[in-house]
């Protein structure tokens, strides 16, 4: 499975926010924002801070996408 944070970036656009605004309001490091930008894994603590800052649920900012390996295993 791969993680996609496209929903988060769309939400930022809808709320007229920039990544630096997210960093400041969520109180997360720039390294965490970079990981989110690259669809890399971040800690649950970071995800919870983002959800709190954006006033949303975790499913509103991310989704899991099956990979070819996932479909071959079934």
Give the closest residue to 57 by CA, choosing from 15, 23, 17, 11.
11
Q: Which residues have a Cβ under 8 Å from the Cβ of 24 and sit 6 or more positions away? A: none
**Counting every residue, how long is the chain?**
74
Report pLDDT digits (tens) over 48-73: 999 999 999 999 999 999 888 776 76
| Boundaries of every domain in the chain | 2-73
Report pLDDT digits (tens) over 28-39: 999 999 999 999
Q: Is the whole model's pTM more than 0.85, yes or no?
A: yes
Q: What is the topology classification, in CATH, of domain 2-73? A: 434 Repressor (Amino-terminal Domain) (1.10.260)
Do residues 61 and 54 lie in contact, with contact meaning Cβ atoms separated by under 8 Å?
A: yes
């Amino acid at each position: 499975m791969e993680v996609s944070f496209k929903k988060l970036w769309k939400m930022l656009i809808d709320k007229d926010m920039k990544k630096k605004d997210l960093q400041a309001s969520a109180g997360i490091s720039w390294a965490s924002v970079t990981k989110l930008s690259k669809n890399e894994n971040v800690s649950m603590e970071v995800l919870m801070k983002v959800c709190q800052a954006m006033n949303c649920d975790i499913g509103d900012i991310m989704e899991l996408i099956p990979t070819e390996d996932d479909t071959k295993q079934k």
